Amino acid sequence: MAGWRPSLCSGHTLAAVALGYWVVSAIEELAAQGTGTSDQTEQHRDRPWRVIVWNDPVTLMSYVVFVLRRLFGYDLETATQLMLKVHNEGSAVVATEARERAEVTVAQLHAHGLQATLARD
92 and 69, same structural domain?
Answer: yes
User: Domain for residue 1, yes or no?
Assistant: no
- Tell me the residue range of the domain where 115 lies: 47-120
Q: In this structure, which amino acid lies at residue 111?
A: A
71 and 39, same structural domain?
Answer: no
pLDDT band at residue 1 using 50, 70 and 90 as cut-offs: low
| Distance set, CA 42 to CA 22, 36, 59, 100 (Å) | 27, 10, 39, 15
**Each residue of 77-119: pLDDT tens digit?**
999 999 999 999 999 999 999 999 999 999 999 999 999 999 9
Element (H, E) at 28: helix 11-33
- Give pTM, 2 decimals: 0.63
User: Domain for residue 4, yes or no?
Assistant: no
pLDDT at 39: 56
Cβ atoms 104, 111 nearer than 8 A: no
113 and 56, same structural domain?
Answer: yes
Q: In this structure, which amino acid lies at residue 1?
A: M
pLDDT band at residue 61 using 50, 70 and 90 as cut-offs: very high
Cβ atoms 17, 9 nearer than 8 A: yes
33 and 73, same structural domain?
Answer: no
109 and 67, same structural domain?
Answer: yes
**Each residue of 10-60: pLDDT tens digit?**
444 434 434 444 554 555 555 555 555 555 555 556 689 999 999 999 999
Helix (H, G, I), strand (E, B) or coil at 99: helix
Tell me how many domains the chain contains: 2
68 and 83, same structural domain?
Answer: yes
pLDDT at 21: 46
